[in-house]
């Protein structure tokens, strides 16, 4: 029994020694692992963690990664000091959400040492114009910064009449929403009841909105994301869809006939004559013409034909 035990222990020892020899031979040594080539690339400043809209950049929120030269975006910073020294040491502010390990670019930062502002979001040649909206005209608060909308004007053409007539027309299309009330965060996804909407428009469109705001009620129509088409529209009146689409019937008036052709040929109508007879006398006054239509001067009466006298007709004896 003891012999068997001793043989088993010896076999185990031999197998253990063999395993150690194989492991030492096949696996690389620690010195070989340490001989790893250093990372080669261009240093780029990235966000160490996710940055939200309005976050002020600090050294602890930034990191440096080395990227291949052909993968470095234009305008990227190579040192943290360059980012923090934009305004002589004043840290900028994130104008949009920046993901973790995403390169920091000037377009995603506010002005040097400035706060997050809509003015930094306005495109070149455009203007920010604010209109008043409600929970209904403001698309129920679902129009958020970064979305695109159409602006619709509705006017009341009969403000003092008994029968009402309205007309609606599109003022401008495909307009970017810069802010809703005081919320200008493009990453915001929480709808709220709005009272104002700030839109990015051109100068002529700003003039249109200024006039339209006094003419009637402005409403927003939310567009689908990525939609850029401009619809061909026409003013929509109440009569276009109320009462079978027929315009209101005109008032009853006597028809007026107009003749544009030449005057009808023929003798003019003779004026009527009125004879006045006074009571108690059988004599009739001379006829007179009515005042409204004075008669033309009467033609002279024809002279009677001359008749032969008896003296001139008898012959001398």
Domains and CATH numbers, the chain: 42-115 (3.90.1210.10), 119-240 (no CATH)
pTM, two decimals, is 0.48
| Average pLDDT of the segment spanning 5-33 | 69
What backbone torsions phi and psi does residue 159 show, to the nearest 5 degrees? -70, -25
Look at 4-18, 153-167, 171-185, 271-285 and tell me which has the smallest mean pLDDT. Answer: 271-285
Does residue 58 have a pLDDT over 60?
yes
Q: How confident is the model at residue 201 (pLDDT cuts 50, 70, 90)?
A: very high
Residue 59 · residue 89 · CB < 8 Å = no
What backbone torsions phi and psi does residue 13 show, to the nearest 5 degrees? -65, -40
Q: How confident is the model at residue 271 (pLDDT cuts 50, 70, 90)?
A: low
What's the pLDDT at 309?
46
Q: How confident is the model at residue 311 (pLDDT cuts 50, 70, 90)?
A: very low
Residue 62 · residue 104 · CB < 8 Å = yes
E-only strand ranges, the chain: 42-47, 62-67, 127-132, 148-156, 166-180, 196-201, 217-222, 236-237
Give the whole-angstrom CA distance, residue 5 versus residue 2: 5
Does residue 283 have a pLDDT over 60?
no
Single out the residue of 241, 196, 204, 214 nearest to residue 155, CA to CA: 214
Secondary structure class of 65 (helix, strand, coil): strand
Place of tokens 């979305």: 147
| Average pLDDT of the segment spanning 181-201 | 77
| Average pLDDT of the segment spanning 291-308 | 53
Does residue 205 have a pLDDT over 90?
yes
Is residue 199 classed exposed, middle or buried when 0-12, 13-18 and 19+ CB atoms within 10 A define those classes? buried
Model confidence pLDDT, tens digit, residues 113-170: 445 567 767 888 899 999 999 888 888 888 888 899 999 999 998 888 777 888 999 9
Look at 56-60, 99-103, 235-239, 299-303 and tell me which has the smallest mean pLDDT. Answer: 299-303
DSSP 183: B
Nearest 5°: CA angle at 58, between 47 and 124?
70
DSSP 128: E
101 Cβ contact partners less than 8 Å away, ≥ 6 residues apart: 46, 47, 48, 63, 65
Does residue 202 have a pLDDT over 70?
yes
Per-residue tokens: 23: 């492991």
| Average pLDDT of the segment spanning 35-42 | 65
Model confidence pLDDT, tens digit, residues 60-105: 889 999 988 888 888 888 888 888 876 555 678 887 888 999 998 8
Instruction: Dihedral sign for Cα 234, 238, 239, 240, please.
Output: positive
What's the pLDDT at 87?
54
Residue 43 · residue 78 · CB < 8 Å = yes
Q: How confident is the model at residue 310 (pLDDT cuts 50, 70, 90)?
A: very low
């Amino acid at each position: 029994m003891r012999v068997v035990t001793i043989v088993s222990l010896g076999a185990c020892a031999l197998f253990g020694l063999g395993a150690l020899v194989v492991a030492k031979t096949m696996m690389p040594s620690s010195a070989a692992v340490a001989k790893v080539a250093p990372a080669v690339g261009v240093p780029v400043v990235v966000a160490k963690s996710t940055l939200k809209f309005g976050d002020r950049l600090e050294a602890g929120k930034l990191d440096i990664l080395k990227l291949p030269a052909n993968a470095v975006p234009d305008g990227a910073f190579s040192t943290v000091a360059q980012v923090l020294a934009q305004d002589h040491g004043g840290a900028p502010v994130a104008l949009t959400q920046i993901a973790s390990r995403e390169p920091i670019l000037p377009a995603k930062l506010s002005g040097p040492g400035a706060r997050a502002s809509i003015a930094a979001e306005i495109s070149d040649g455009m203007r920010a114009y604010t209109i008043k909206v409600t929970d209904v005209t403001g698309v129920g608060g679902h129009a958020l910064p970064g979305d695109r909308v159409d602006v619709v004007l509705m006017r009341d053409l009969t403000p003092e009449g008994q029968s009402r007539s309205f007309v609606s027309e599109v003022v401008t299309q495909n307009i970017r929403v810069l802010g809703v009330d005081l919320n200008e965060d493009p990453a915001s996804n929480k709808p709220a009841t709005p009272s104002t909407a700030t839109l990015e428009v051109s100068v002529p469109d700003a003039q249109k909105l200024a006039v339209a705001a006094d003419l009637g009620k402005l409403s927003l129509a939310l567009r689908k994301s990525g939609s850029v088409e401009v619809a061909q529209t026409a003013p929509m009146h109440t009569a276009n869809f109320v009462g079978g689409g027929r315009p209101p019937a005109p008032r009853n008036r006597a028809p007026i006939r107009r003749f544009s052709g030449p005057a009808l040929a023929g003798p003019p109508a003779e004026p009527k004559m009125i004879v006045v007879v006074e009571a108690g006398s059988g004599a009739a006054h001379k006829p007179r013409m009515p005042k409204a239509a004075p008669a033309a001067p009467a033609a002279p009466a024809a002279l009677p034909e001359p008749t032969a006298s008896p003296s001139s007709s008898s012959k001398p004896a």
